[in-house]
Amino acid sequence: MTPIARCAVTAAMLVCVVAPPRDSWFGADKVKHFLMSALVHSTAFSITRSAGAQRSGAQLAGAMSAAVVGVWKEVHDRRAGKPFSVPDLVWDGVGAAASAALLNRSR
Report whether pLDDT(104) > 50: yes
More confident residue, 92 or 17: 92
pLDDT digits (tens, 9 = 90+) for 14-57: 544 554 567 889 988 999 999 999 999 999 999 999 999 999 99
Mean pLDDT value across residues 80-99: 94
**92 contacts: CB under 8 Å, gap ≥ 6:** 33, 34, 36, 37, 66, 67, 69, 70, 73
pTM value is 0.76
pLDDT tens digit sequence for 54-76: 999 999 999 999 999 999 999 99
What confidence score (pLDDT) does residue 10 get? Answer: 58
Largest Cα span, the chain: 64
Report d(CA 18, CA 90) in Å as an integer: 23
Residue 78: is its pLDDT beyond 90? Answer: yes
